[in-house]
Structure 1
Amino acid sequence: MNEEPSPSDIFRKRLREAREMRDYKQEQLADLAKMPATTIAHFEAGTRKPSFDSLRKLAIALEITTDYLLGRVDDPELAEAGDPLFRDVAKLSGSDREIAKDFLKMLAKRSSKKDKAS
């Protein structure tokens, strides 16, 4: 019988993945989320569960959605909607979105050329 992981197991795994995806140490995430580093360690170990307030602080600090942390979205790429850049783009009108899209493509291409030159 294939047993699904509990929501607590999903959260602790996703929190660690999101932290590592941002290349933060537990202490760095704790500073950004304005909570003790031991709290982050307890969350990742599964010995403590977050309050709604803590969950919100973590999502903001990681610039990711609570849906990803809670396992409602499986693909971290979909969780990028929590990133302020994506939230701001979502507020643009159609023509402004096209301008922003072209500008972001240009920046990505420029960044790619810099990486290849290094």
Structure 2
Amino acid sequence: MEESGRRVFARRLRHAREELRKLTQAQLGEMAGLPATSISHFENEEGTRKPSFDNLRSLAKALDVTTDYLLGRADEAHGIALDEQLYRDVKSLTEADKQIAEDLIKRLAERNKPKG
């Protein structure tokens, strides 16, 4: 994570914690299985401490945002996460159930298609 990437991560982490989830550093730390001091270090824009991949995933999961959002690769905090979850869920279905899911999704997409 380069210097500017670290700053983006620090700002996004703080924003997601304070504004989106209304959590303290201690609360987020508990939810992510990390000490509050680690959260503090990660949120320090001038600091040098960066999260491991596992910690990044734990933070994103606890905040219900994507890792791409925290890293500054996506501006939308949630969109991709739902798509990823649906993809994981579909992979566990039988072929017959996958066909039902595909048909349902097609019908929903048609229903929500703009008219005109």
Whether TM-score is above 0.5 comes out as yes
2:30 matched to which residue of 1?
31
Please report the TM-score for the alignment, with normalisation by the length of structure 1: 0.65
State the structure with more CA Rg: 2
Please report the TM-score for the alignment, with normalisation by the length of structure 2: 0.66
Q: Which amino acid aligns with 1:39?
A: S
Q: How does 1:1-118 map to 2 (within 5 A)?
A: 6-20=4-18, 21-46=20-45, 47=47, 48-76=49-77, 79-82=78-81, 87-88=85-86, 91=90, 93-97=101-105
Gaps (5+ residues) in structure 1? 102-118
Q: CA deviation at 1:62?
A: 1.0
Gaps (5+ residues) in structure 2? 91-97, 110-116
3-state SS of 1:6 partner: helix
| Worse-superposed segment, 33-42 or 16-25 | 16-25
RMSD: 2.7
Overall identity of the aligned pairs, in %: 44
1:53-98 CA-to-partner distances (Å, cap 9, x unmatched) read 111110111111100000000233xx34325x98249848245448
